[in-house]
Amino acid sequence: MIRPLARNHRRGFSLIEILAALMIAATVATIAVTQFRTPGDTAHSRSCELGRQILQNEVQRHVDTTGSLPATDMRQLTTAEYWGTTLPACPVTGNAYTLDRSGNVTCATHP
């Protein structure tokens, strides 16, 4: 008597197939999350950085003119000769920039 060929009926997935699917899903999720979240955060950080660079130039100009650093709140820069009546602030929090001991303009929100 001739036996019929046995067919290999698989039920479910192997561990390798499940791990491969999870890796692909995790990669796609990581890419999607970074695409949706990063542009706003990057824009705020760059805007803050630009404000700090502009103030840093004014601090350097003050040092070149007077030979000393302004106070930590940079109130000496609120004259018509330097910046005007109000100094720029962090665009995210609205907090004022400060000057550290080494003469660098800093932001508490964006170190």
Q: Would you say the pTM of this structure is higher than 0.85?
A: no
pLDDT, mean over the chain: 83
The closest of 88, 79, 46 to 61, measured between CA atoms, is 79
Spatial contact of 103 and 69, defined as CB atoms under 8 Å apart: yes
* Rounded CA separation 53/46 (Å): 10
User: Greater confidence, 40 or 49?
Assistant: 49
pLDDT, one tens digit per residue, over 68-79 is 898 888 888 888
pLDDT, one tens digit per residue, over 59-105 is 999 899 889 898 888 888 888 787 778 888 888 888 889 999 888 99
pLDDT category of residue 27 using cuts at 50, 70 and 90: very high
**Rg (alpha carbons) of the chain, rounded to whole number:** 30
* Rounded CA separation 29/10 (Å): 30
* Rounded CA separation 110/93 (Å): 10
* Rounded CA separation 12/27 (Å): 23
